[in-house]
Amino acid sequence: MQVNLTNKVVLVTGASRGIGKAIAEVLGEAGASVAVHCNSNLEPAQKLAAAIGHNSKAFQADLGDAKAAEELLNAVLSHYGHLDILINNAGIAISSDMKMNGEQWLQDWSKTMAVNLTAPALLCRLAIPHFIERKEGIIINISSRAAFRGDTADYLAYAASKGGLVALTKSIARAYGKQGITAFGVAPGFTKTEMAQDFIDAYGEDYAIKDIALTELTEPVDVAHTVCFLASGLAKHATGATIDINAGSYVR
């Protein structure tokens, strides 16, 4: 089935690399105009937007700053005039040893929550009135298998933030379905991205493959195709659901 997103405007946060980049590229292949968000370095996002075409454009915002999140959405709306789909993909994973200084641990926790949960919540809150006015809108939040199976002690904040994102998605789906808004989650497992490369370099790809049911690691494009299908509007009766893309490493 060929997904057609022509004339659809999509904001993808954290789109300059990894899963976000793959999502932006696949949506672009389906004809969407993509607002390509990046945290700091604008040049890769600009190159990606130019490659995608369809009036795609790069936007920079530090999502650790609540005001910046609001400014991002306003900038996208100002440029395009409307938004059809919001994809909250941007996220960070900070390793915080439980034995580290308590103040530093709390700073890591707060930063993780700000980017992984507060920013998506703010963007959803700001997009929802716009979607209500247009009588339609799709929200897709990229969480993690860690939301369901947990993570190591060093990544308590990461797992907790992604669990919160799942609950946020369900709540939006239940609250706004009758106003034309659907909300979905996608929970990747270990995915072969730049962020995961340090782990692969340290332990080897074979070590990571032992944890999954398939013979190869999940690639960003594997996640992107699922996101594209959800963005198509063809899965509206799955609103509130989170789709697992983890190569069978955690089966609910």
- Structural domain boundaries in the chain: 9-245
Q: How many CB atoms lie within 10 A of CB 197?
A: 10
Confidence band (pLDDT; 50, 70, 90) for 67? very high
Summarize the confidence of residues 191-212 as an average pLDDT: 85
List the one residue out of 29, 24, 26 whose CA is nearest residue 11: 24
Q: Which CATH class is domain 9-245?
A: alpha beta
Confidence band (pLDDT; 50, 70, 90) for 201? confident
Residue 53 DSSP symbol: -
Cα–Cα distance, 222 to 219 (Å, whole number)? 5
Summarize the confidence of residues 86-93 as an average pLDDT: 98
Can 176 be counted among the known catalytic residues?
no
Q: 207 pLDDT exceeds 90?
A: no
Please pick, among 80, 155, 158, 176, the residue that the annotation labels catalytic: 158
Cα–Cα distance, 132 to 38 (Å, whole number)? 27
